[in-house]
Amino acid sequence: MTSAQPITLLRPTRPATDGQPAIPGHRVELQLLTTLKCNLKCTYCSLGVGEVLGSQQHVDYSLEQLAAFVDTQLKGYETYVTFYGGEPTLNRPYMEEVIARFPNFRYQLQTNGTLLDGLPDAVLARMSNFLISIDGGEGTTDGYRGRGIYRQVMKNLAAIRPKTSGSITARMTWSHPEISFEEIDHLTEVFDYLYFQFVADIGAYPAEGMAKRKEILARLIAKFFRHSDRLYPIIPIMGMVRNKVMPSKAQELYQGKTQCRASTHILNVMPDGRIFPCPDLLYLPEMQQGSVVDNWLRASPLQPDPAMPCSTCDAYAFCRGNCMKNLYLAYVKKDETYRREVVEPICELVKFMGEEIDRHQPQEWFARASLPVRKLITDCEVYEYVEIMP
């Protein structure tokens, strides 16, 4: 990204409210950043922007302040927590304290997977979903994360399997065009689900790379539609198919807005207690949405804007504005290089996916699908934990 700015610690005063609840609907996700430290150095890490990574190593607010915030701002909401970082398992005591303090919340852990074997069984057993970052096969993952990381993650995955009834989802950043169909396909065999996201790096989408990515996407989508009694568990494809065969579901959980929840009901709580809608925009003071320490909350400032092209886009019905951060940087902050080199190529890939899905007549496929497959397409719990769109 080109718009990096140093992180600021200024606290705005509580903004006036317009009488509307800060969080629409009935559910809220608290994404608690347990630390901004990480034990790996992934080359594309988004927290590297604005010098966020490593800037806060301890949680500075107390559990009492968090409980007071929940009581005041989130009363009556179904609440689920994602432990996030940095690498959240580096602050294991905080995770244990939160789970003990809020035993009725649902929990997810977003992790690089390298320290999973150090977590107590009681913590593992409480997770409804593990979101484990991985980049593809062994060579690709070790190339980005360091030698031996892929094997270490696979070993840990096998170790935690018997200790959890939660789902285990791979979170793959599709970072370069050489990542093969076979690498991606293999992840669907090792994990319960695969969620992939197109990397947001300048220079990542040269023309020949776009062609390669499209070829792989076409193969993945063809494989998805090959069976109607067995699910090919790739979340962005499942989610797009859901949005096409059951458009009301594309709106229900997110008030019709972006499906990553950044415009509606995800609160990223930094270790110092400040709250932001998107974990990639922690460096922008205008994005602050609240504070656990000062106990205030306003609606997400990361909203659709007339400058964004979505309202006239053919893909909007199933895409719903994909990544608001990308759109904000490109069309509101007017970062032209980012628009040309990141946002437009990703939109082109999203549209391509929609067209490929349509070629396989998703409505007819859904009509033939077995009940368990239909249930997962419409209501898979993992939709609540990931951005759905790539």
Which residue lies nearer to ligand SF4 by CB, 292 or 315?
A: 315
Which residue lies nearer to ligand SF4 by CB, 170 or 324?
A: 324
The token pair at 73 is 């701002």
DSSP β-bridge partners for residue 82: 31, 108
Q: Which of 159, 151, 101 shows the shortest CA–CA distance to 130? A: 159
DSSP 3-state of 76: coil
Residue 114 Cβ vs ligand SF4, minimum distance, rounded to whole Å: 22
Contact positions vs ligand SF4 (CB under 6 A): 260, 262, 278, 280, 309-310, 313, 315-316, 319, 321-325, 347, 350-351, 387
Q: How far is CA 351 from CA 101, 134, 265, 387, in A?
A: 44, 25, 26, 17
Q: Which of 130, 114, 120 shows the shortest CA–CA distance to 96? A: 120
Which residue lies nearer to ligand SF4 by CB, 124 or 302?
A: 302
Helices 344-359 and 235-245, axial angle in degrees (round to 10): 60
Which residue lies nearer to ligand SF4 by CB, 46 or 188?
A: 46
Q: Are strands 266-269 and 193-198 parallel, antiparallel or unpaired?
A: unpaired
Burial of 25 (0-12, 13-18, 19+ CB in 10 A): middle
Cα separation, 63 vs 78, whole angstroms: 19
If you ran DSSP here, which 8-state letter would residue 85 be given? S
Residue 274 Cβ vs ligand SF4, minimum distance, rounded to whole Å: 16
Residue 146 Cβ vs ligand SF4, minimum distance, rounded to whole Å: 24
Residue 351 Cβ vs ligand SF4, minimum distance, rounded to whole Å: 6
Residue 229 Cβ vs ligand SF4, minimum distance, rounded to whole Å: 31
Residue 172 Cβ vs ligand SF4, minimum distance, rounded to whole Å: 14
Which residue lies nearer to ligand SF4 by CB, 110 or 188?
A: 110
Cα separation, 132 vs 134, whole angstroms: 6
Which residue lies nearer to ligand SF4 by CB, 74 or 350?
A: 350
Return the number of other C-beta atoms located less than 10 Å from residue 307's C-beta. Answer: 12
